[in-house]
């Protein structure tokens, strides 16, 4: 899939639209989901133009990948998600239900998150 330079997260990264920022490093940004599915719902995104987790894992540099996972770890600890646990989700492509074509990891917590999958 070709990266869409005008997707909503690309616009956030360009500063064209605001976000409720939780964390930022040189190569990674995290912000609260605009439509939270749990008491805590944070999205972690690389700043580089990667469409999904496969694109990111295949094509991002080692520095970008290390920065991303360091950010996930720091956010999980600093935001208290790691105390009682949380769920991380990377929706991917059509069957994965991905709506925004810029790789993002959902971090969901703050209460028991329930079953891993629903057929709804």
Q: Which positions touch ligand AMP (CB under 6 A)?
A: 8, 19, 31, 33-35, 43, 91, 97-100
**Other CB atoms closer than 10 Å to residue 16's CB: what's the count?**
10
Among 88, 29, 90, 26, CA closest to 63: 26
104 belongs to the catalytic site: yes
Q: Cβ of residue 37: shortest distance to ligand AMP, in angstroms?
A: 7
Q: Cβ of residue 31: shortest distance to ligand AMP, in angstroms?
A: 6
Q: Cβ of residue 20: shortest distance to ligand AMP, in angstroms?
A: 7
The Cα 93–Cα 90 span in angstroms is 10
Helix (H) or strand (E) holding 73: helix 62-78
Q: Which is nearer to ligand AMP, 42 or 60 (CB)?
A: 42
Q: Which is nearer to ligand AMP, 13 or 62 (CB)?
A: 13
The Cα 19–Cα 59 span in angstroms is 26
Radius of gyration over alpha carbons of the chain, in Å? 14
Q: Which is nearer to ligand AMP, 21 or 63 (CB)?
A: 21
Query: Which active-site residues does the annotation give?
Result: 104
């Amino acid at each position: 899939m070709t990266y869409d330079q005008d997707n909503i997260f690309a616009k956030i990264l360009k500063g064209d639209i605001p976000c409720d920022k939780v964390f930022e490093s040189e190569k990674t940004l995290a912000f609260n989901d605009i439509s939270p599915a749990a008491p805590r719902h944070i999205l972690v995104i690389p700043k580089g133009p990667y469409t999904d987790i496969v694109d990111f894992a295949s094509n991002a540099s080692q520095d970008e990948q290390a920065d991303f996972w360091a950010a996930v770890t720091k956010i999980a600890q600093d935001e208290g998600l790691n105390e009682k646990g949380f769920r991380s989700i990377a929706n991917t492509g059509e069957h994965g239900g991905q709506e925004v074509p810029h790789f993002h990891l959902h971090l969901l917590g703050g209460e028991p998150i329930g079953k891993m999958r629903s057929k709804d």
